[in-house]
Structure 1
Amino acid sequence: MGVRGWITAAAGALALTAGLVAAGPQASAAGLTQVTGFGTNPGNLSMYAYVPDSLPADAPLVVALHGCTQSANDYYAHSGWPTFADRYGFAVVFPQTSSANNANNCFNWFQPGDSARDRGEALSVRQMVDAAVSRYGSDPGRVYVTGLSAGGGMTANLLAAYPDVFAGGAVDSGLPASCADSVTAAYTCMYSPPDRTPAQWGDLVRSAAPAGTTSWPRVAIWQGTADTTVRPANATELRDQWTDVWGIGQTPSRADALTGGTTRTVYDDPSGRPAVEVYSISGMAHGLAVDPGSGPEQCGTPGTYYLDTICSSYHTARFWGLDGDGGGEQPGTLPAPTGLAVTGTTATSATLSWNAVPGAASYTVLRGGTRVGTTASTRHTDTGLASGSTYRYTVTAVDAAGAAGPPSSAVVATTTGFTPTCHTASNYDHTVAGRAYAEGGRAYARGSGQPLGLWNTFTTHTLQQTSPGHYVIADSGCPA
């Protein structure tokens, strides 16, 4: 079956690429204008743009990608992005695909020929960005991309392929970057995403980006807990992927409750700015979160796969700093400390030392990307650790104004001793807790790789952790 025609055969089964909403009219609403001649357009996409009146020079630019069988006009009319383009002063580009590319007008997020750097649809989007920067005088350092479902999958791939183009992104009900490279893999990603380690997910981004990339986009992840089209596990894998790319670990800096049953979990970079945010919406199915109304935090129009919960566009715009606050504190200018080393460990502590940085008023110690200490000296002991466990540390230098510079190179400390533990749970709960991993619909014990059977909530096993990260089946009795 040809790449362009696979969706017809999968209709009804692969909702991400087959039937998000009935196709709306072509982009022709007042304010939305088609732009032609924006480049060689190897991905055969159409470019539409919304540009507020009196747009200032060097304004930000947002690229918004629709879902399957949607159009640029559909996303323009429902998503709420024009509201904030008017309020905060930025242009919005709405790329549009067609049935010539994909039977149901889906962006081909699962095809490397369309989602890799300088290839196919991805290159067409890049050319739209260049055209918009030239036409509207947009700031090339403040370009952002967002997308729903298939558009969300493409968004993640664009962030990985073009970290030098996009300062931030928002993946709405979407997939991790490079999760799929075929139709078959797309099914797996949607319903049972591979349970890769954060480093493995991060490596997929690093391999897609230009060699030597050190600056990464800030990423917002939106996911409904009742989504049966793109399973909520995708949000976890996305979080693992982008926190690893940032080198900040998977321990949240903080969490808070928002409207619409939404929990926001924030992962700060070493300077204290949010680098990754995860928005989990309780009970929301597959779609884009909107909140119709005239309030300052409301936006959008409800419809099929536009779900009345919370205005995701408002919170995403604020996360990116489009409201004028810059998205948080600016990083300091001090260099990263050098010579970070582990000078000693016990069963519950790790002692670190590093070289002094001229001009530093203090130093922040981070364990797995989370602050665990501040000191004026070049030595710190981190306590309260688990025995026989491995921890990753970095250190930043903080100036007199309280601004932290970039993190040092990481070191790994392993505490002494180990106490075996036993855990009885379903295969699903074992994978969520990190004691097992899922592959091809089946679960396997992490470390030993012993097969546990079907990956579901009904099959139960007892696992014994015999060493850090290594589990074996102990159904007949767990001596620990």
Structure 2
Amino acid sequence: MHDRGSSHRSLFTPSRGMRFAALLLAGASCGPLEGGAPEEQAASDVAQVESGLTQVTGFGTNPGNLLMYRHVPASMPANAPLVVVLHGCTQMAAAMESTGWTAAANVYKFYVVYAQQQSSNNSTSCFNWFEPGDIARGGGEALSIKQMVDNMKSAYSVDSARVFVAGFSGGGYMVPVMLATYPDVFSAGAVNSGGPYKCATSMTSAFSCMSPGVDKTPAAWGDLVRGAYSGYTGARPRVSIWHGTSDFTVKNSNATEAMEQWTNVHGIDQTADFTETVAGFPHKEYRDSAGTTLVETYDLTGMGHGVAIDPQYSYPGSSTVCGATGSFMSDVNICASYYQAKFFGLTGGGGGGTGDTTAPTVNLTAPADGATVSGTVTLTASASDAVGVTRVEFYVDGSLAGSDSAAPYELGWDSTGVANGTHSLSAKAFDAAGNSATDADTSVTVSNSGGGSTPVTVSFTSIAADDGYLKANADGSAAALGTLTNLALGKGTDGKFNRSFLSFDTSSLPDGATISRAYLSVSYSSGSGDPWASPADNTLVIDVNSGTFNAATTEVSDWDAAASASAVAGIAKFTAGTTNSEDFSGAGLSSIHKTGKTQLRLRFTQDQAGTAYLFVKDGTNATLTVVYTP
């Protein structure tokens, strides 16, 4: 093996390595944790490597000094896919077999490479996802992993267009390294409890990246990826992002930042184009104009630091179960390896690793082409496929109106939301392998009484220069302006109570408009404790002011200034992503300023008993949606 040199190894002194290990092991207890102690698990992993995987030596110059293990299923077809799997800190390669990748490979016929870190490189066996020399194209651990792929291509019939990478924790941070530095090698990746590329470039900054997280704009994150292989103009890898909402080792804000990074890299926005619930967990898809899912996220509600498995689940078409319990393996009744393999396109066609390429059939059966409709209309479609239809989406004039995941495929569409006249309807079906087909040959005439009072929906983004937050004592005295980038709510570490202000220019609303609905959308940045539960049943509410509270920008006197309407809507507890408030009350709707600015004050109705707060993002991350009729 190539010697990386004492100067590199000196970065990992025993004290720093032990601190890193302690942090990760403490995080494991935040979620479901099963199996033996770490020492017992490590011994088990050694046995698994010796009996279940084949070590490969001499696979290249190996500048990162990594170990390579491979799994080759029986009866492999020609031109088969390859998945590279990266373990987490304190783990060894074979620990990741417990996530189900070897089992899935046996069912669907693809090769698996398990890379392994050595303690001589990192005392806690973490991939060095934060070291500049290991995360750049052409060197370090990134090149070693790429050379493992090259070795498999030279030894077996591997489809170069279907090479993928999946990883957990430290390996989850290493996945975007491989996607950013070698987009010409990897077609897609799956990030489990990891984060965005170049979230850290030193061990010190790695701790800040993991918790509380690093906040950058989507463009800034995207630039880091584009800079990893300057001049590259080819297709970028698709990305599947999985994270537990109760992960206190790697905060789940990392998942949001990773989503922002890769949607920006693909040139699409950060608004999900499709949302559903899978096994009880929120699943979002971010698509391009052709309907292809380029980025997806799974928010694993209540799960801690781990990989989602389901040992009671058999891969479709087989009796092979998904994963086995052990350290960092969280049995939360969803099989991450299956859904990630499905995202990679490996599960279709009944195995064989070649993938199902046959699109489903779909037909919009109601309403009939040329029909005249009004009010709520039931859209109905028939769909079929050899490997199963997963969902049917319904579109009105090319915009997604909703979907149904079970036959009979139906959707109630409120036709009063569009203008009277001719409109096009279509249905799009998806199969279990990700293939899709569209039936877009239906045209209807909408005829609703009132002839043209069509509701209009508009979204305003907050004015960052006007936004801000204040902190004061419980009695409101000694108010002071906050200084951090994001907006604070709740009781801070300084014992002060925080209120936040968002400002929107709503002057584009028609003077005579009748506003029928409004709500606020805010995005989670970070937090501490549960400000909704201290005291119990605390409520986060919104005050509305028609115009500015005082000056345009936030000032100290805004803390207790009178609002045009108070507590017009609440915001339920959230710990990740973006959430919507309740719809504004009638008084709130009346307070939206049609000829100037509308300002919102966010506050908890009760003072927290102890430190408990959250930070929300301002500027373009906060939106006020208004529905009105002209």
TM-score (norm 1): 0.72
Q: Structure 1 residues 98 and 402 mapped into 2: Cα distance closer, same or farther (>3 Å)?
A: same
CA distance in 1: counterparts of 2:231 and 2:191, whole angstroms: 24
Q: Give 1:341-356 correspondences, 5 Å limit.
A: none
* Matching residue within 501, 514, 530 for 1:463: 501
* Matching residue within 308, 315, 319 for 1:289: 308
Tell me the SS of whatever aligns to 1:195: coil
Match in the other structure for 2:485: 444
CA distance in 2: counterparts of 1:32 and 1:176, whole angstroms: 30
Structure 1 unmatched runs, 5+: 331-370, 376-383, 385-400, 404-414, 428-437
2:80 pairs with 1:59: yes
Contact preservation (8 Å) 2:73, 2:106? yes
Q: Structure 1 residues 13 and 419 mapped into 2: Cα distance closer, same or farther (>3 Å)?
A: closer
Q: Structure 1 residues 329 and 169 mapped into 2: Cα distance closer, same or farther (>3 Å)?
A: farther
CA distance in 1: counterparts of 2:310 and 2:212, whole angstroms: 29
Match in the other structure for 1:308: 331
CA distance in 2: counterparts of 1:121 and 1:131, whole angstroms: 15
Match in the other structure for 1:4: 12
Contact preservation (8 Å) 1:180, 1:186? yes
Q: Give 1:167-316 correspondences, 5 Å limit.
A: 167-259=187-279, 261-293=280-312, 295-296=314-315, 298-309=321-332, 310-316=334-340
Contact preservation (8 Å) 2:27, 2:305? no
Greater Cα shift, 26-35 or 49-58? 26-35
Q: Give 1:419-430 correspondences, 5 Å limit.
A: none
CA distance in 1: counterparts of 2:123 and 2:27, whole angstroms: 8
CA distance in 2: counterparts of 1:254 and 1:64, whole angstroms: 28
CA distance in 2: counterparts of 1:71 and 1:292, whole angstroms: 21
Tell me the SS of whatever aligns to 1:257: strand
Could you tell me which amino acid in structure 1 is paired with residue 485 of structure 2? Answer: Y
CA distance in 1: counterparts of 2:340 and 2:463, whole angstroms: 43
Contact preservation (8 Å) 1:271, 1:329? no
CA distance in 2: counterparts of 1:320 and 1:157, whole angstroms: 18
* Matching residue within 305, 311, 320 for 2:344: 320
Contact preservation (8 Å) 1:4, 1:103? yes
Q: Structure 1 residues 16 and 304 mapped into 2: Cα distance closer, same or farther (>3 Å)?
A: closer
Contact preservation (8 Å) 1:274, 1:328? no
Tell me the SS of whatever aligns to 1:14: helix
CA distance in 2: counterparts of 1:456 and 1:87, whole angstroms: 56
Match in the other structure for 1:151: 171
Match in the other structure for 2:406: none
- The percent identity for this pair of structures is 42
Shift of 1:274: 1.2
The structure having more radius of gyration, on CA atoms, is 2
Q: Structure 1 residues 73 and 455 mapped into 2: Cα distance closer, same or farther (>3 Å)?
A: same
Deviations 1:185-227 (A, max 9, x none): 1011111212111111111111112423341111000000111
Contact preservation (8 Å) 2:468, 2:554? no
Greater Cα shift, 4-13 or 18-27? 18-27
Could you tell me which amino acid in structure 1 is paired with residue 500 of structure 2? Answer: T
Tell me the SS of whatever aligns to 2:167: strand
Shift of 1:324: 3.0
Could you tell me which amino acid in structure 2 is paired with residue 40 of structure 1? Answer: T
Tell me the SS of whatever aligns to 2:103: helix
CA distance in 2: counterparts of 1:417 and 1:147, whole angstroms: 38
CA distance in 1: counterparts of 2:111 and 2:460, whole angstroms: 57
* Matching residue within 519, 536, 559 for 1:475: 559
CA distance in 1: counterparts of 2:229 and 2:216, whole angstroms: 19
Q: Which has the higher strand share?
A: 2
Q: Structure 1 residues 174 and 476 mapped into 2: Cα distance closer, same or farther (>3 Å)?
A: same
Contact preservation (8 Å) 2:492, 2:498? no
Match in the other structure for 2:135: 115
Deviations 1:110-162 (A, max 9, x none): 11111211111110000000001111211111000010000000111111111
Deviations 1:46-95 (A, max 9, x none): 1000000111111000000011121112212x110011101111000000
Q: Structure 1 residues 220 and 464 mapped into 2: Cα distance closer, same or farther (>3 Å)?
A: closer
Contact preservation (8 Å) 2:309, 2:324? yes
Contact preservation (8 Å) 2:137, 2:228? yes
Q: Structure 1 residues 457 and 167 mapped into 2: Cα distance closer, same or farther (>3 Å)?
A: farther
Match in the other structure for 1:49: 70
Shift of 1:262: 1.8
Q: Structure 1 residues 146 and 426 mapped into 2: Cα distance closer, same or farther (>3 Å)?
A: farther
CA distance in 1: counterparts of 2:310 and 2:250, whole angstroms: 21
Tell me the SS of whatever aligns to 1:134: helix
CA distance in 2: counterparts of 1:171 and 1:215, whole angstroms: 19
Tell me the SS of whatever aligns to 1:324: coil
2:162 pairs with 1:142: yes
Q: Give 1:63-102 correspondences, 5 Å limit.
A: 63-76=84-97, 78-102=98-122
Q: Structure 1 residues 185 and 80 mapped into 2: Cα distance closer, same or farther (>3 Å)?
A: same
Q: Structure 1 residues 445 and 281 mapped into 2: Cα distance closer, same or farther (>3 Å)?
A: closer
Q: Structure 1 residues 193 and 459 mapped into 2: Cα distance closer, same or farther (>3 Å)?
A: farther
Could you tell me which amino acid in structure 1 is paired with residue 58 of structure 2? Answer: G
Could you tell me which amino acid in structure 1 is paired with residue 91 of structure 2? Answer: Q
Counting matched residue pairs gives: 388
Contact preservation (8 Å) 2:194, 2:254? yes
Could you tell me which amino acid in structure 2 is paired with residue 322 of structure 1? Answer: L
Could you tell me which amino acid in structure 1 is paired with residue 249 of structure 2? Answer: T
CA distance in 1: counterparts of 2:494 and 2:165, whole angstroms: 35
